[in-house]
Each structure stands twice: as structure tokens, then as C-alpha cells.
């Protein structure tokens, strides 16, 4: 059983958690806060109760799958509460001659050394800002922020010889030496 799920998750001020659905059939949890509202379906083997001390996550059985899901759903609720109060952000860096990006409306335009420009639609609920080669992705849903950042990075991963490509801020690229002159 998860140690994180044993204690109730405290509710930050100005947040509201509602759990809907019939017992034993799953349902959904909705978290409303100053930055927006998030909703997530809940597995039928997990139960959520909202009390005075916070949100308590508990399991309805002793199966191995249920024990694994317990900590997962506790983390999901904790991330939802953090998202609607503070939000999440990821920063990407671009490195290379002629590599650039810019935002036009709901589209991210990238020049990555290909014969054509790459256009990526920006998902709903995310905002992008660009400042001197740094792309900042901001949103309230941790999964959508991380997935969009991973999709952008996958377009041109950093290569090990010169380090050209798109990487996360703080990511260390292991460099290779290359050929030596004889």
C-alpha cells in the first residue's frame, strides 16, 4: 500500500473538490480552483472521500492492481490541486544554426533544418511564450504540459557531437569526441 495515500491530501485555500459517480462503478473527480477546473475519471477499485481535513484516497480491495493504483490516484489528485492553484511549466531550449521557433495564433512554427517548416498545433489549455531561444510551456494540467514538451523535443532530439537540437532546460547531453585528424 502506498505511504503517500495513507494521509489525507490537504486542500489549498480557494479550491473545491467534487467526486461523482456510483460506488463500485468508478466515477470522476473534479477540482476547481483560481486557475481553472480539471476533471479525471476514477478507477472502480479506488474510492475518494472529501472531508474536513482533505481528500482521502482508499482502495476497495487487496488486489495487486488496486495497491498499485492507490498511490497513482493520490498523485493525480495532488497534481490536480497544484495545477489549479499554481500551474505547471516546462522550458525547452533550441540550439543550432538556423534553428528557430515562433508562435502564430494557435500554431507553433519551427525551423529545424528540414526542407520544410514544421507546424505544430498548440493544445487547448496551454500557453506558450518565447524569449531568446527559450520556449516556456505553461498550463494547469501536468500531463498535457509534459506531453506537449516531449512531442516538441522529439521533433529534433539533441545530437551527441555538437549538441544541436531541442532539449529541456537543465538537461545534460552526453557529448562524444568525434573523429580525430591523423
Same domain, 81 and 101: no
Helices of type H across 5-161: 64-85, 142-155
The verdict on 152 and 99 lying in the same domain is yes
Domain count, the chain: 2
φ/ψ of residue 16, rounded to 5 = -140, 130
Give the global pTM.
0.89
Kindly state whether residues 70 and 20 are assigned to the same domain. yes
Domain range for residue 114? 88-168
Q: What is the CATH number of the domain that holds 25?
A: 3.90.930.12
Q: What span, in angstroms and rounded, lies between the C-alpha atoms of 127 and 129?
A: 7
| Angle, helix 64-85 to helix 142-155, in steps of 10 degrees | 90
pLDDT digits (tens, 9 = 90+) for 39-60: 999 998 888 889 888 999 888 8
Model confidence at 1, in pLDDT bands (50, 70, 90)? low
Q: Among the three residues 34, 50, 85, which one is the final residue of a domain in this structure?
A: 85
Amino acid at each position: 500500500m502506498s505511504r503517500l495515500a495513507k494521509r489525507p491530501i490537504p486542500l489549498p485555500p480557494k479550491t473545491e473538490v467534487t467526486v461523482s459517480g456510483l460506488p463500485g462503478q468508478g466515477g470522476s473527480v473534479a477540482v476547481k480552483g483560481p486557475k481553472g477546473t480539471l476533471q479525471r475519471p476514477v478507477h472502480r477499485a479506488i474510492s475518494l472521500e472529501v472531508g474536513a481535513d482533505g481528500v482521502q484516497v482508499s482502495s476497495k480491495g487487496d488486489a495487486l492492481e488496486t495497491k498499485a493504483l492507490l498511490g497513482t490516484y493520490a498523485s493525480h489528485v495532488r497534481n490536480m490541486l497544484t495545477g489549479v492553484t499554481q500551474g505547471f511549466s516546462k522550458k525547452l531550449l533550441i540550439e543550432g544554426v538556423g534553428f528557430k521557433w515562433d508562435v502564430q495564433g494557435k500554431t507553433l512554427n519551427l525551423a529545424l533544418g528540414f526542407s520544410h517548416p514544421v507546424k505544430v498545433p498548440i493544445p487547448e489549455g496551454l500557453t506558450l511564450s518565447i524569449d531568446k531561444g527559450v520556449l516556456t510551456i505553461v498550463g494547469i494540467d501536468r500531463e498535457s504540459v509534459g506531453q506537449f514538451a516531449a512531442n516538441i523535443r522529439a521533433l529534433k532530439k539533441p545530437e551527441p557531437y555538437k549538441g544541436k537540437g531541442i532539449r529541456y532546460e537543465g538537461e545534460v547531453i552526453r557529448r562524444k569526441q568525434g573523429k580525430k585528424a591523423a
